[in-house]
Structure 1
Amino acid sequence: MILPTQEKERIISIDVMRGFALLGIFVVNMLFFHGPYIYVNPYDWYQTPSDQETYKWIDIFVQGSVYPLFAMLFGYGLAMQFMKSEAKGTSFSRLAVRRLLILLGIGCIHAFLIWSGDILITYALAGLCLIVLMKLKPLWLIIIAAVLYLIPNGLLTGLVYLMTKVAPEESVLYTAIQKVEESAVAYSQGSWFDVFGQRLADWFYMQGYGLNVVLILCTILPLLMIGSAAAKLRLIERARELKLFWIITVIVTMAAGTAIKWLPFNKGDDLFTMTVQDTFGGPLQAIAYGGFLALICTIPIVGKLLSPIAKAGRMSMTIYLMQSILATTIFYGYGFGLYGKVDIATGTWMAIGIYVIQIIFAEIWFTKFKQGPVELLWRKLTYSKI
């Protein structure tokens, strides 16, 4: 049997990365929680200087840059479980499949009954694909990940660029006014059943009506593979030994990623600059963020100072689901009905405030328990008799 990771085996820098990624994900998701973010052109939708400036910095440094980090950490964790099972001579695949299928079930509950912006379904499906490739050497994982990511996304980006030249009117980002109005009515005034219908419509819209399979295979799976390769090379555990490697990596990826993320503001916002920004700029920044946190966590005092964030990272699924439950209760009609009534700056500070409360909750929880509540349930379901 594959045993769950014990506290003494944990690597604090990985939990710190998860903790910071959870905050970033919440800040971005908050745009969707309190407004019709998925249906608007964000570059001209926000009118006040405060909203425009706040969105600009979220777009450049957070949006598209934290979920890749979380995905790579997910792959890192799976590879660590695989290596532990190999060292003990136990079977990995059977229990890993069960674990991921349970995650898929939790994701479905989250997506259809709580909030449509769920990422757990995608991670579970990509994780099931990764299991097949887990025995590959790190170099092959990196090569296959690069091919899977760069060729399809490069071709797509090239086609979008050609479209901006041949038919520039087709590359303009539009706001779907009717969908904005429908979501505003459903979320701010509707009953739970009205919200459920809108949530379902939002989910199908974001999945591209089936095109999400491409996202899983060409975007999320390669990120998981990169994380798995990094785990097999022990790049985070050896951060002190690999200090020069990480310093160079952080500088190069941060500079390149940030330059790409600025494109919609420097070259004009259209489908091409937005595609390049999210597809290439975000993952580069994610690597920089992960490398920076790995480096500073080698300093003993920093590790102690960031311990509260690490505790939030230890119960990442609990924190993630709790954020959705709290935010939908605050903004949806069956709760406090504040949907559409909060500006971006206020929403961002609300996200930070809720996250601080979650950190306090995690501190208190871990004085009594070794895992978060959802993690305990996940573990119980996984390790019960098959």
Structure 2
Amino acid sequence: MSPSRRPPSAVAPPVLGPGRSLAPDLARGFMLLFIALVNAQFFLTHPDTVRTLADQVLTFVQSTLVNGRAIPLFSLLFGYGTVWIMRRVLDAGGGWVHARVVLRRRGLWMLVIGLAHGVLLLPVDIVGAYGLGLLLFVGFLRARDAVLLWTAGAVALASAALNTVLGLGDAFGTSPGDTDPASAVPSLVESGFLAASAERFAEWTLYTPVTLVLVVMPPLLVGMWAGRRGILERPREHLTLLVRTAVVGLGVAVVAGLPDALVTAEFLPEPEPQVLVLLWIVHDLAGWAGGPGWAALITLVALWLTERATSRGDGDGSPGAIATAIAAVGERSLSCYLAQAVVFTVVFAPYGLGLGATASASGAVLVAVLTWGLTVALAEISRRRGLRGPAEVLLRRLTYARTRLPGSPEGRR
């Protein structure tokens, strides 16, 4: 039986390579700051979040550069990572059958972890959406480049059309000032944990497939395309593409998101609901450009840090203490993502400290930055001690359970 046909049957995960590329880990680590900012704001359940000039400025900056840009960046990196996992399986002597089994099993357990995260902590969970994506669409890893890119474009257009239709439909029945931050997410205002968990289960069940199809899929497919070329791992070979993507992607994100950001930050009066919906749709669609733009910019920064360390003759080629610590967060992104949700639940939920009902926008930013900073410190301590993230260890064990690869010692017995 050929290696590509041999069924998986024992524990033998592929061995990690001697080193990791800085750019993907640095991007994931920095991206978790964006996720923290977005999720902390999500927990605010009252309309009076912008009270001072500081609130206005922070809301404007976050709306322009972070909101609607974090998930596209996260999704692109996830799609990129699936190619890396498949490559590791193939390098360990496996075939497509082995890679498909490993990735689908990973997707299944991510869906389970996402469900637990969504029910216990945060209904707008992204882990479950990625897990569902792996289960349903792992076959795209074998698709031609044209199929990946055209499918990403088609899904993006369909998402834009559906969001426009649904958004305008709701807007025609809404008056200015009628919006309630908690109305779409009832679990945020439930005073009891069990009642909130029941609400979150229903919300997670709805949000997970919707988020996958309407938000995650386009950048995920682009990430697969980029992963085939090793763009983040070999940035010097793709310098022109990275520069253009950073300039155009972030430029589009800023310009297209500016009107909605000015309204959200209350620098401009709120327009009619129909206009407000259109501003929001344009803002979020521009996030599909902003995500790759951020990925390209962070990759260029990683290249600069690495080459600077090399030119200085640093013994270990270290990019610097700060970059190393942020990259450590990227290596433990799942653990840090779940840790953020625990902190935010304790701080903002009604059955915790309850600050979601009173905190301002700047207060939410402060909690988000401090929480992210805590994960950076813990990740760096773990790195120095040679420890992986607990969630990563668990997911890895579950993913490679009962898997025997031909290149492993077990596979040669």
Q: TM-score, normalised by structure 2?
A: 0.80
Task: Give the match for residue 193 of structure 1.
Answer: 194
> Aligned pairs, how many?
368
Pair 1:385 & 2:389 matched: no
CA offsets per residue over residues 166-215 of structure 1, 9 Å max, x none? x85659674138849976753xxx332243245346546x73xxxx5354
CA offsets per residue over residues 121-167 of structure 1, 9 Å max, x none? 111111223312111133321122112222x1343366479869xx8
Task: Give the match for residue 376 of structure 1.
Answer: 393
Task: Give the match for residue 263 of structure 1.
Answer: 259
- CA distance 1:256–1:3, shift in 2 (3 Å): same
Structure 2: how far apart are the matches of 1:385 and 1:313?
27
Task: Give the match for residue 26 of structure 1.
Answer: 36
Structure 1: how far apart are the matches of 2:342 and 2:109?
20
Cα displacement (A) at 1:108: 0.5
Cα displacement (A) at 1:367: 2.5
- CA distance 1:312–1:328, shift in 2 (3 Å): same
User: Is the CA contact 1:46–1:52 (under 8 Å) kept in the aligned structure 2?
Assistant: yes
Residue 102 of structure 1, aligned match among 109, 126, 149? 109
Task: Give the match for residue 313 of structure 2.
Answer: none
- CA distance 1:49–1:240, shift in 2 (3 Å): same
Residue 89 of structure 2, aligned match among 85, 88, 96? 85
Q: Percent identity of the aligned residues?
A: 26
Task: Give the match for residue 336 of structure 1.
Answer: 353
Task: Trace 1:132-281 onto structure 2 (pairs within 5 A).
Answer: 132-150=139-157, 152-156=158-162, 159=165, 174-176=178-180, 179=183, 186=190, 190-200=191-201, 203=204, 207=207, 213-264=209-260, 265=262, 268=271, 270-278=276-284, 280-281=285-286
- SS class of match (1:46): coil
Query: Which blocks of at least 5 consecutive residues in structure 1 are unaligned?
Result: none
- CA distance 1:173–1:154, shift in 2 (3 Å): farther
Counterpart amino acid of 1:293? I
Residue 80 of structure 2, aligned match among 76, 82, 94? 76
- SS class of match (1:8): coil
Q: TM-score, normalised by structure 1?
A: 0.85
- SS class of match (1:92): helix
User: Is the CA contact 1:240–1:298 (under 8 Å) kept in the aligned structure 2?
Assistant: yes
- CA distance 1:61–1:235, shift in 2 (3 Å): same
Counterpart amino acid of 1:62? V
User: Is the CA contact 2:189–2:349 (under 8 Å) kept in the aligned structure 1?
Assistant: no
Superposed CA RMSD in Å reads 2.9
Residue 290 of structure 1, aligned match among 268, 288, 295? 295
- CA distance 1:198–1:49, shift in 2 (3 Å): farther
Cα displacement (A) at 1:338: 2.6
User: Is the CA contact 2:76–2:223 (under 8 Å) kept in the aligned structure 1?
Assistant: yes
- SS class of match (2:116): helix
Task: Give the match for residue 12 of structure 1.
Answer: 22
- CA distance 1:239–1:172, shift in 2 (3 Å): farther
User: Is the CA contact 1:171–1:270 (under 8 Å) kept in the aligned structure 2?
Assistant: no
Query: Which blocks of at least 5 consecutive residues in structure 2 are unaligned?
Result: 1-7, 310-318, 404-413
Counterpart amino acid of 1:311? A
Structure 1: how far apart are the matches of 2:122 and 2:85?
29
CA offsets per residue over residues 286-308 of structure 1, 9 Å max, x none? 11111011111112247334110
Task: Give the match for residue 119 of structure 1.
Answer: 126
